[in-house]
Amino acid sequence: MFRHVAAFRWTPEATDTALAAVAAGLAELPERIDTIREFRIGPDAGINAGNHDFVVVADFDDVDGYLVYRDHPAHQAVIAECIRPILAERAAIQYDAG
């Protein structure tokens, strides 16, 4: 299994409507990209100061499956239309999750 984790910090101007659009757009991806095996998204629980605001954890059979997801037009559209306009910071990692 190959895992992708991305964490986001939003700009102060991010509205509830914009945040809902991010979640809705991302939630549609498993139905549109068949290489996704597991897909979890969600806002930070607010327990620790300094955390990012939102996370995506996605699992794939292998690196090639991840690359299909990374470059898929539906994923790229969510990034361009929903995420990038309110993005302050992004951290990501991909690794072999065994």
Q: Which domains does the chain have, with CATH numbers?
A: 2-96 (3.30.70.100)
DSSP 83: I
DSSP 98: -
pLDDT in tens, the chain (98 residues): 999 999 999 999 999 999 999 999 999 999 999 999 999 999 999 999 999 999 999 999 999 999 999 999 999 999 999 999 999 999 999 999 98
Burial 56-83 (b: 16+ CB within 10 A, else e): bebbbeeeebbeebbebeebeebbeebb
